[in-house]
Amino acid sequence: MINKKLLLIVMIPFILLCLLIMRAEYHLSIGTQWDISVRGYDPRDLLRGHYLRFRLNYDYAEEIENSCAGDDCCLCLTKTEHQAPKVHKTDCATAKKQCDAFILPEFQHSLNRFYIPETKARLAEELLRDARQHDTAYMRLSINAKGESRIVDMLINREPMNKLLAISGDEQSR
């Protein structure tokens, strides 16, 4: 009887963790993928921690950038022929009806850091230094129909950062 209770107590956190992972993966799979350029990052900061801090370089639509004020302002994304979507701020009720995708206010502030493994910091620093010179760093976001956004990966020259770090790490180990 005690063993069953102990097993149940140990398994509940594990099951909850698995459900959270499944929920995150589901969100990434159903969301629309958007690539937005990155600016304001400093690759040297990688050596001080595990996260790369940056700002998303939104291509604001000039005539309607300040069309909303307050806490209920969503970022409205509109597809263009260029890689970067046009973005403007609007109230969330309007954004749901008129935008190709929108980002809720509570998710806008969490899109500013990307995890880099500590062992890959030097390789990432080299990749980012080159990307800064050629302006080829993008964040791939997954945005679902509810306006919830998550970072999928960082792209350098259209290639996922994690893939580039794995390839570079394999080459250095040889």
Condensed to tens digits (0 to 9), the pLDDT of residues 84-111 reads: 788 888 888 888 888 889 998 888 878 8
The pLDDT of 5-28, averaged and rounded, is 87
pLDDT score recorded for residue 172 = 52
Question: pLDDT tens digit string along 17-76?
Answer: 999 989 888 877 788 888 888 887 765 555 556 778 888 888 777 655 456 766 778 888
Could you give the number of structural domains in the chain? Answer: 2
Instruction: Give pLDDT tens digits for 117-130.
Output: 878 888 888 888 88
Where does residue 135 rank: exposed (0-12), middle (13-18), buried (19+ CB within 10 A)?
exposed
- Alpha helices in the chain, H assignment, sequence order: 2-30, 92-98, 105-108, 121-134, 161-173
Which amino acid is present at 40?
G
Q: For residue 17, what pLDDT is reported?
A: 92
pLDDT in the model for residue 18: 92
Predicted local confidence at residue 7, as pLDDT: 86
Pair 4, 90 in one domain: no
Q: What distances in angstroms separate CA 20 from CA 23, 27, 32, 145, 150, one per listed residue? A: 5, 11, 20, 19, 14
pLDDT band at 112 (very low <50, low <70, confident <90, very high): confident
Distance CA 8, CA 124 (A): 42
Domain carrying residue 144:
31-173
**Do 52 and 24 fall into the same domain?**
no
Same domain as 154, residue 143: yes
21 with 69, same domain: the answer is no
Domain check: are 15 and 82 in the same one?
Answer: no
pLDDT surpassing 50 at residue 157: yes
First and final C-alpha spacing in the chain:
54
Same domain for 66 and 11, yes or no, is no
Closest CA to 84 of 45, 139, 149, 121: 139
Tokens of 72: 């209920």
Helix axes 161-173, 121-134, angle to 10 degrees: 130
Say if residue 47 is in the same domain as residue 80: yes
